[in-house]
Amino acid sequence: MKEIKRIGVLTSGGDAPGMNAAVRAVARTALASGIECVGIRRGWQGLINSDFTLLNRESVGHILSRGGTILYTARSSEFMTKEGQKKAVATCKMLGIDGIVAIGGDGTFRGALALSRLGVPVVGVPATIDNDIGCTHYTIGFDTACNTAIECIDRLRDTMQSHERCSIVEVMGRNAGFLALYVGIAVGATAVLVPEKELDFQRDVVERIQESRLAGNTHFMIVVAEGVGSAVEIGKQVHEAVGIEPRVTVLGHIQRGGTPSARDRETATRMGYSAVKALAGGRSNCIIAIQGGEILEIPIEEALVMKKSLQMDRYEIMETMQFGGIASHRTSF
Ligand code: F6P
């Protein structure tokens, strides 16, 4: 087994709260194991451009509570090319990097696979607010993004309640509905629209609002995952079908910022630690995953084809919270 003397760490793709905790964990675990740690700035593009900084105990101090990533991040199209990947390998050789910890989502791990095939050992750490990585039950940033969206929606509810309006809120999630469903349950949404469930506008929106009205509600909250389509369009349809003038809010990048939650700091620290332990132990080309609370190392190739479905039992729970007991409510009048 080749001795690991120096590793690189980078963050790539969309940032996620808790990435800094992961960078800190990687650097401090490396230093504690007698391994030097180089921070690669601006993701895979930084590896191509030799954009780096040496990390020590102090340089990763006081970053646990900071959102974003101190290493910056980027989505690199050059790294998708063989030419770009070769330049990245050359940087690793030049800097004497024996392995890389890549913190990010799906795109980051596709980059990791390409680099590992060119002989650079890589370990991936899943971080994305979308929680859409198949091999792991949890990705760094999801909890904080949920909490941020919930806080925003609670505020929206105050004004919607005062004016007796309908709010249509679009949340992120790319092609997945994890964020929307978790948030929808937590805010007691009238309806939650997710890409995993084919939209029947009459059943999923119009009837929900009508039922909610019958139950005595005078304001309504519709949470729409961005993967379903534009909340503005949904708003127009609500106006036409129900006759109420909705207010549309696209939460957008607000969801990606802010102080990481306890869960994200703790998970990121465990994952960063485990990534360095894997590299130091001669294990690489894997993703650090969490399944049932346990940390696992899943080979990247396997991880990239693993699928994770939205838990439809949670969808049922969300509906039950809104509409369970409506019949008895009606008969009591
Ligand atoms: O993957 C994280 C994410 O925030 C998605 O939810 C969203 O679709 C996308 O990134 C936005 O990307 P960008 O920051 O490049 O606009």
Q: What is the pLDDT of residues 184-209, one digit of tens each?
A: 999 999 999 999 999 999 999 999 99
Handedness of CA 125, 131, 133, 138 (dihedral sign): positive
129 touches ligand 1 (CB under 6 Å): yes
Distance between CA atoms of residues 29 and 287, nearest Å: 17
Annotated catalytic residue, options 106, 130, 132, 264: 130
Q: What is the pTM of this model?
A: 0.96
Q: What is the pLDDT of residue 322?
A: 82
Q: What is the pLDDT of residue 326?
A: 58
Distance (angstroms) between ligand 1 centre and the Cα of 128 equals 9
Ligand 1, atom 8: nearest CA belongs to which residue?
A: 174
Residue 255 has what DSSP assignment? G
Q: Where are the domains of the chain?
A: 6-141+260-304, 143-256
Over residues 136-185, the pLDDT tens digits come to 999 999 999 999 999 999 999 999 999 999 999 999 999 999 999 999 99
Asked if the domains 6-141+260-304 and 143-256 are classified in one and the same CATH topology, the answer is yes
Alpha-carbon distance of 244 to 124, in angstroms, equals 47
Distance CA 146, CA 151 (A): 9
Give the C-alpha separation, 206 to 264, whole Å. Answer: 37
DSSP codes of every residue in 235-248: HHHHHHHH----EE
Measured torsion, CA atoms of residues 19, 23, 25, 31, in degrees rounded to the nearest 10: 180
Of the CATH numbers 1.10.10.10, 3.40.190.10, 3.30.930.10, 3.40.50.460, which one belongs to the domain with range 143-256? 3.40.50.460
Closest CA to 132 of 318, 250, 304, 11: 304
pLDDT digits (tens, 9 = 90+) for 207-247: 999 999 999 999 999 999 999 999 999 999 999 999 998 99
CA-nearest residue for atom 13, ligand 1, is: 14
Tell me how far the alpha carbon of residue 173 lies from the centroid of ligand 1, in angstroms: 7
Answer whether residue 333 shows pLDDT above 80. Answer: no
What would the pLDDT profile of 280-292 be if each residue is shown by its tens digit? 999 999 999 999 9
Residue 14 Cα to ligand 1 midpoint, Å, equals: 6
Q: Is 105's C-beta closer than 6 angstroms to any atom of ligand 1? A: yes
Of 76-80, 249-253, 319-323, the one with minimum mean pLDDT is 319-323
Supply the pLDDT for residue 323: 73
pLDDT digits (tens, 9 = 90+) for 33-63: 999 999 999 999 999 999 999 999 999 999 9
Say which CATH class 6-141+260-304 falls into: alpha beta
Q: Is 130 a known active-site residue?
A: yes
Task: Report CA 192 to chain centroid distance, whole Å.
Answer: 19
The answer, yes or no, to whether residue 106 has pLDDT greater than 50, is yes
